[in-house]
Chains A and B, each alone.
Chain A
Amino acid sequence: MNKRQQSRRQFLKDSSAAMGLTLAGIHLPSLLPLGEAAAKARDTQAAMQVLTAEEAADIEAITSMVIPSGKTPGARDAGVVYFIDLALGAQLASLLAPVRRQLSEMNALAGSDSAGGFARLDETARIAVMEKADSAGFLGVFSTLTMFGMFSMPSYAGNRDHVGWDMIGFDHRHAWMPPFGYYDAEEHGKQSGGSSNEAS
Chain B
Amino acid sequence: MKRPENMPAFGLDKEVDFVIVGSGAAGGVLAKELSQSGFQVVVLEQGQWRSEEDFTHDEFDVLFNGGLAGGEDQAGSQTFRQSDKEEAEERDGFQPAWYARTVGGSSVHFSANFWRFRPLDFKEKTLLGPISGTSFEDWPISYEELEPYYTKVDWEIGVSGAPGPFDPPRSKPYPLPPMPVKSSGVLFEKGAKKIGLNPQVAPVAILSKPYRGRASCVNCGFCMGFGCETGAKSSSLSAMIPLAMASGRCELRSDCTVYRLQTNDKGRVDEVLYLDKDGKQRSQRAKAVIVSANGLETPRLLLMSESPRFPQGLANSSGLVGKNLMFNSHAAVNATFEHQLNEYKGIQCTRISHDFYETDPRRGFYGGGGLDGRPLFLAMPIFYSQLFPPSDMPRWGQDFKEYLADSFTRSMTVVGATTSLAMESNNVTLDPTVRDRYGLPAARMTYLDHDDDLAMGRFLQGKAVDMMEAAGARKVVAKETGPTTVSAHLMGTCRMGNDPATSVVDRYHRSHDVPNLFICDGSSFVTSGRGQPTMTIQALAFRAADHIAEFARRNEI
Q: Is the CB of B340 within 8 A of A194?
A: yes
CB < 8 Å: which of A11, A31, A74, A192 contacts B61?
A: A31
**Min C-beta distance of A101 to chain B, whole Å:** 17
CA of A67 to CA of B384, assembled, Å: 15
Whether, in the assembled complex, B71 has its beta carbon less than 8 Å from a beta carbon of chain A, the answer is yes
Per-residue CB contact flags for chain A residues 143-156 toward chain B (1 = under 8 Å, else 0) read 11011101111001
Q: Which of chain A's residues have a CB closer than 8 A to the CB of B345? A: 176, 180-181, 193
Q: Is the CB of B182 within 8 A of A165?
A: no
CB < 8 Å: which of A17, A156, A180 contacts B346?
A: A180
Interface residues of B in 379-395 (CB under 8 A from A): 381-387, 389, 391, 394-395
Whether, in the assembled complex, A139 has its beta carbon less than 8 Å from a beta carbon of chain B, the answer is yes
**Min C-beta distance of B230 to chain A, whole Å:** 9
Q: Is the CB of A181 within 8 A of B343?
A: yes
Binds B, one of A19-27, A40-48, A50-58, A107-115: A19-27
Q: Is the CB of B405 within 8 A of A24?
A: no
Pull 24 A–B residue pairs with CB atoms less than 8 Å apart, ordered by A: A3-B434, A7-B92, A8-B92, A15-B395, A16-B389, A16-B391, A24-B66, A27-B66, A68-B397, A72-B405, A139-B395, A142-B396, A151-B382, A153-B59, A168-B404, A174-B57, A176-B218, A178-B182, A180-B219, A180-B345, A180-B346, A183-B339, A193-B342, A198-B409
With known contacts A20-B385, A66-B397, A140-B395, A195–B409 Cβ distance under 8 A:
yes
CA of A7 to CA of B451, assembled, Å: 28
Whether, in the assembled complex, B556 has its beta carbon less than 8 Å from a beta carbon of chain A, the answer is no
Q: How many A-B residue pairs have CB under 8 A?
A: 216
CA of A198 to CA of B338, assembled, Å: 10
Q: Which of chain B's residues have a CB closer than 8 A to the CB of A173? A: 220
Q: Is the CB of A16 within 8 A of B395?
A: yes
With known contacts A20-B385, A28-B72, A170-B408, A182–B183 Cβ distance under 8 A:
yes
CA of A67 to CA of B219, assembled, Å: 30
With known contacts A16-B395, A27-B71, A195-B340, A74–B401 Cβ distance under 8 A:
yes
The residue in chain B whose Cβ has the minimal distance to the Cβ of A3 is B90
Q: Which of chain A's residues have a CB closer than 8 A to the CB of B337? A: 183
Other 16 A-B pairs with CB < 8 A, given A11-B92, A153-B58, A181-B183: A3-B90, A20-B64, A20-B383, A23-B93, A24-B64, A26-B72, A70-B401, A134-B396, A150-B381, A151-B382, A152-B382, A168-B404, A180-B346, A183-B337, A183-B339, A184-B183
Q: Which of chain A's residues have a CB closer than 8 A to the CB of B344? A: 170
Whether, in the assembled complex, A91 has its beta carbon less than 8 Å from a beta carbon of chain B, the answer is yes
Q: Which of chain A's residues have a CB closer than 8 A to the CB of B406? A: 200
The residue in chain A whose Cβ has the minimal distance to the Cβ of B339 is A182
Interface residues on A, range: 35 or more
**Min C-beta distance of B202 to chain A, whole Å:** 14
Whether, in the assembled complex, A188 has its beta carbon less than 8 Å from a beta carbon of chain B, the answer is yes
Q: Is the CB of A148 within 8 A of B343?
A: no
CA of A172 to CA of B379, assembled, Å: 11
Q: Is the CB of B409 within 8 A of A197?
A: yes
Q: Which of chain A's residues have a CB closer than 8 A to the CB of B486? A: 21
Q: Is the CB of B91 within 8 A of A7?
A: yes
Q: Is the CB of B220 within 8 A of A175?
A: yes
Q: Which of chain B's residues have a CB closer than 8 A to the CB of A146? A: 396
Interface hub of B57, B67, B345, B434 (most chain A Cβ within 10 A): B345
CA of A28 to CA of B72, assembled, Å: 8
The residue in chain B whose Cβ has the minimal distance to the Cβ of A8 is B92
**Min C-beta distance of A76 to chain B, whole Å:** 12
Whether, in the assembled complex, B355 has its beta carbon less than 8 Å from a beta carbon of chain A, the answer is no
CB < 8 Å: which of B59, B66, B220, B385 contacts A174?
A: B220
Q: Is the CB of B65 within 8 A of A188?
A: no
Q: Is the CB of B65 within 8 A of A27?
A: yes
Q: Is the CB of B387 within 8 A of A181?
A: no
The residue in chain B whose Cβ has the minimal distance to the Cβ of A70 is B398
CA of A177 to CA of B396, assembled, Å: 35
Whether, in the assembled complex, B186 has its beta carbon less than 8 Å from a beta carbon of chain A, the answer is yes
Q: Which of chain A's residues have a CB closer than 8 A to the CB of B181? A: 178, 184, 187-188
CB < 8 Å: which of A152, A170, A176 contacts B60?
A: A152
Per-residue CB contact flags for chain A residues 128-144 toward chain B (1 = under 8 Å, else 0) read 00100010000110111
Q: Is the CB of B342 within 8 A of A181?
A: yes
With known contacts A156-B60, A178-B346, A21–B341 Cβ distance under 8 A:
no
The residue in chain A whose Cβ has the minimal distance to the Cβ of B180 is A178
The residue in chain B whose Cβ has the minimal distance to the Cβ of A155 is B58
Whether, in the assembled complex, B94 has its beta carbon less than 8 Å from a beta carbon of chain A, the answer is yes
CA of A188 to CA of B181, assembled, Å: 8
The residue in chain B whose Cβ has the minimal distance to the Cβ of A158 is B60
Q: Is the CB of B385 within 8 A of A130?
A: no
CB < 8 Å: which of A22, A91, A174 contacts B218?
A: A174
Whether, in the assembled complex, B546 has its beta carbon less than 8 Å from a beta carbon of chain A, the answer is no
Q: Is the CB of B182 within 8 A of A180?
A: yes
Whether, in the assembled complex, B276 has its beta carbon less than 8 Å from a beta carbon of chain A, the answer is no
Q: Is the CB of A143 within 8 A of B64?
A: no
Q: Is the CB of A150 within 8 A of B385?
A: yes
Whether, in the assembled complex, B313 has its beta carbon less than 8 Å from a beta carbon of chain A, the answer is no
Q: Is the CB of B91 within 8 A of A147?
A: no
**Min C-beta distance of B551 to chain A, whole Å:** 42
Q: Which of chain A's residues have a CB closer than 8 A to the CB of B229? A: 174
Q: Is the CB of B65 within 8 A of A181?
A: no
Whether, in the assembled complex, A164 has its beta carbon less than 8 Å from a beta carbon of chain B, the answer is yes
Whether, in the assembled complex, B360 has its beta carbon less than 8 Å from a beta carbon of chain A, the answer is no
CA of A198 to CA of B94, assembled, Å: 34
Interface residues of B in 188-241 (CB under 8 A from A): 218-221, 229
Whether, in the assembled complex, A167 has its beta carbon less than 8 Å from a beta carbon of chain B, the answer is yes
**Min C-beta distance of B470 to chain A, whole Å:** 14
Interface hub of A8, A152, A156, A165 (most chain B Cβ within 10 A): A152
With known contacts A31-B61, A151-B382, A25–B93 Cβ distance under 8 A:
yes
**Min C-beta distance of A132 to chain B, whole Å:** 12
Whether, in the assembled complex, B365 has its beta carbon less than 8 Å from a beta carbon of chain A, the answer is no
CA of A164 to CA of B391, assembled, Å: 22
Q: Which of chain A's residues have a CB closer than 8 A to the CB of B185? A: 184
The residue in chain B whose Cβ has the minimal distance to the Cβ of A173 is B220
Per-residue CB contact flags for chain B residues 49-74 toward chain A (1 = under 8 Å, else 0) read 00000000111110111110001100
CA of A7 to CA of B93, assembled, Å: 11
Whether, in the assembled complex, B89 has its beta carbon less than 8 Å from a beta carbon of chain A, the answer is yes
